[in-house]
Amino acid sequence: MERWGSSDWATGWGPAMLTTVDAREIYALCSAGFVERVHAVGDRWADPTPLPGWDVRELVNHLVNEERWTPLLFGGSTIEEVGDRFDGDLLGTDPVATVDEAAAVALAAVQADGAVERTVHLSFGDHPGREYAMQLAADHLVHTWDLARALGADETLDAPAVAAVLDWFGDTESLYREMGVIGPRVEVPATAGPQAHLLGRFGRSV
């Protein structure tokens, strides 16, 4: 799986506009799961992750980068207006505290009144905030597994979040793969559970 920045992930692609799933709730579940794993890192920031070339600190920094973008894009900023202000290391000397603060600010932006209904300006056009929230939720969810695998922690993901992201991803998988932001699909047995199918579609070998 190749590395991408928040602006690359926020493509705005994916025709499925969720109407029955509360994207705000799914994002909250996925964010909380990631934060929980961050609190288990301890002194293992340099440990390798399943993502080639990424250690734990780089993985966590990637999500904090996304969370710094989130309130600005929901607030109406364009990719060009945000620019490169969040490039580089964002974790500082207290990574866990940084994660807690960034996650809270991003969650507030997603859950603000009207956020998922308003238009956000993404890399490939203007789209409802609901779609952007699901993109962010998916990234948090899958990277929760990456972090758990790196730490030898519990790899079980929130079941309702997995089901919602798996359903949403059905219409976006081929487009993400064409962009190179996910690796080749890993086939899993038909009898495998939703989590295994989701991770396989994101190129993870479980």
Class at the top of the CATH hierarchy for domain 6-158: mainly alpha
Exposed / middle / buried, residue 80 (Cβ in 10 Å: 0-12, 13-18, 19+) = exposed
**Domain ranges for the chain:** 6-158
- The rounded distance, in Å, linking the Cα atoms of 191 and 58 is 34
Residue 96 tokens read as 């866990």
Give yes or no for a contact between 79 and 122, defined as CB atoms under 8 angstroms apart.
Answer: yes
DSSP letter at 18 equals: -
Over residues 9-18, the pLDDT tens digits come to 343 333 333 4
Please check whether residue 56 is in contact with residue 147, taking contact to mean a CB–CB distance below 8 angstroms.
Answer: yes
- Global model pTM greater than 0.95: no
Tens-of-pLDDT digits for all 206 residues of the chain?
Answer: 222 333 343 433 333 334 457 999 999 999 999 999 999 999 999 999 999 999 999 999 999 999 999 999 999 999 999 999 999 999 999 999 999 999 999 999 999 999 999 999 987 778 899 999 999 999 999 999 999 999 999 999 999 999 999 999 988 888 788 877 888 899 999 999 999 999 999 999 88
